[in-house]
């Protein structure tokens, strides 16, 4: 009876050790995975690594005292045409919008979707930008609701790049 009790305690201890040993391995694997996810893989073309994505930032201040701001941060993938970013529009003493941009670059034109939150509601809006030497210009035009919460430009042509943001250093 004493031998069985003693053996069951040893078996229990071995089982606990094995369980905690496996759990620690999965944690380190998880951390290794997270570390790998934080460092983007280097893309290689013809044996040469591609340059890092280009991150650019822009700012527009408006109003009688430059109190209304629009901030735009874009990352253009080195491979060419994929663009991602964030935009924040903050009028003085009013609710603004904050969101993300997913787009495609063709030459000096960037076309995409701005997904944002405004007054607690989710919206999406078609956006078109034109890269210029000292900044970026945004196409301005009438928006129509394609579906609930989804706004598109009513008339893309002629292009009306009337809103210009100046290029600034990214923070």
Per-residue pLDDT of 18-47, as tens digits, reads 434 444 444 444 444 444 444 455 555 566
Q: What is the pTM for the complete model shown?
A: 0.68
Q: Which of 4-18, 78-92, 97-111 comes out lowest in average pLDDT? A: 4-18
Per-residue pLDDT of 50-92, as tens digits, reads 678 889 999 999 988 888 999 999 999 988 799 999 999 998 8
Determine the pLDDT at residue 69: 95
Report the alpha-carbon distance of residue 124 to residue 95 in Å, rounded: 17
125 sits in the region (left: phi over 0; alpha: psi -120 to 50; else beta) called beta
């Amino acid at each position: 009876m004493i031998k069985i009790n003693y053996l069951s305690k040893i078996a229990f201890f071995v089982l606990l050790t094995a369980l905690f040993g496996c759990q620690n391995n999965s944690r380190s694997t998880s951390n290794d995975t997270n570390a790998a996810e934080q460092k983007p893989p280097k893309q290689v073309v013809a044996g040469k690594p591609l340059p890092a994505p280009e991150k650019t930032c822009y700012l527009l201040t408006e109003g009688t005292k430059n109190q209304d701001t629009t901030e735009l941060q874009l990352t253009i993938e080195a491979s060419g045409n994929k663009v991602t970013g964030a935009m924040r529009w903050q009028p003085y003493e009013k609710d603004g919008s904050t969101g993300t941009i997913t787009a495609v670059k063709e030459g000096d034109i960037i076309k995409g979707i701005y997904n944002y939150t405004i007054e607690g509601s989710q919206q999406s809006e078609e956006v078109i930008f034109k890269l210029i030497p000292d900044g970026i210009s945004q196409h301005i035009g009438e928006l129509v609701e394609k579906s609930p919460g989804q706004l598109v430009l009513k008339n893309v042509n002629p292009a009306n790049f009337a809103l210009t943001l100046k290029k600034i250093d990214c923070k």
